[in-house]
A and B are shown apart, each in its own frame.
Chain A
Amino acid sequence: MPNRVPSSIRQAFTVTKFELLNYVRSRRFIIMLGIGIIVGALLTLLVGHYRPSGFLASSIDFYSSWWGISATYIVILSGIFFGGDAISGEFQNKTGYFIVGNPIRRSSIYAGKWLAAFVASFIVLIVFLGITVLNNFYYFGLNLPYQFLESFLFTLLYLISVLGLTFFFSSLFKSSSVAILTTVVLMLFAFSLIQELIDAFVHVEPWFLITYGAGIIGNILTVPYPSHILTTHFGHVVVTSYAVTVPEGIAILVAYFAVTVILGLVLFERKEFN
Chain B
Amino acid sequence: MQQSIEAVNLTKKYGSFVALSGLNLKFEGAKCVGFLGPNGAGKTTTLKLFTDMIRPSAGHALINGIDVHENKRDALSSCTALIETPEIYPSLTPAEALSMIAEIRGVSSNERNIRIEESLNEVKMLEWKDKKVGKFSKGMKQRVNIASVLISDPSIIMLDEPTTGLDPRGMSEVREIVKSLKRKNRLIFMSSHLLNEVTDVCDEVAMIDHGKLLVYDSILNVIQKFSENGSNIIEVGFSRAIDENIMEKIGKLENVKATSKIDETNLRMEILGDIKVQEALFYELANMKIGVISFKPSSSALESTYLNMIKETL
Contact = CB atoms under 8 A, between A and B. Distances in A.
Interface string B56-81: 00000000000000001111111011
Interface stretch (B94-102, B121-129, B214-222, B258-266): B94-102
B137 to A, nearest CB: 16
Interface in A1-37: 2-6, 8, 11, 14-15, 17-19, 21-23, 25-26
B156 to A, nearest CB: 11
Contacts of B73: 5, 8, 103-105
Contacts of B152: 3
Contacts of B89: 18-19, 22, 95
Contact of B92 (A3, A5, A22): A22
Contact of A99 (B55, B85, B104): B104
B103 A6 contact: yes
Contact of A103 (B77, B96, B107): B77
B101 A6 contact: no
Interface string A93-112: 11111111111110000000
Given A2-B78, A18-B100, A101 B83 contact: yes
A97 B103 contact: no
A53 interface: no
Given A3-B152, A100-B51, A103-B76, A94 B86 contact: yes
Given A18-B89, A101-B83, A103-B75, A274 B96 contact: no
Contacts of A5: 73-74, 77, 104-106
Nearest to B85: A94
A95 B83 CA distance: 11
B88 A95 contact: yes
A5 B106 CA distance: 5
B230 interface: no
B86 A97 contact: yes
A270 B99 CA distance: 28
Given A3-B107, A93-B87, A100-B51, A14 B77 contact: no
A273 B48 contact: yes
A225 B107 CA distance: 55
Interface string A238-274: 0000000000000000000000000000000010111
B101 A102 contact: yes
Contact of B97 (A4, A93, A98, A103): A98
B91 interface: yes
Contacts of B107: 3
Interface string A39-67: 00000000000000000000000000000
Contacts of A96: 86
A14 B87 contact: no
B1 to A, nearest CB: 12
B189 to A, nearest CB: 13
Contact of A95 (B45, B86, B153): B86
A111 B295 CA distance: 54
B53 interface: yes
A21 B54 contact: no
Contacts of A19: 89
Contact of A97 (B84, B96, B104, B155): B84
Contact of B83 (A93, A97, A103, A104): A97
Interface of A: 2-6, 8, 11, 14-15, 17-19, 21-23, 25-26, 93-105, 270, 272-274
29 contacts: A2-B78, A3-B77, A3-B107, A3-B152, A5-B77, A5-B105, A11-B103, A17-B100, A18-B96, A25-B91, A95-B89, A97-B83, A97-B85, A99-B100, A101-B51, A101-B52, A101-B76, A101-B82, A101-B83, A102-B80, A102-B101, A103-B72, A103-B74, A104-B104, A272-B48, A272-B53, A272-B54, A273-B48, A274-B48
Given A94-B87, A97-B85, 11 more contacts: A2-B77, A5-B105, A6-B103, A6-B104, A18-B96, A25-B91, A94-B86, A101-B52, A101-B81, A104-B72, A270-B55
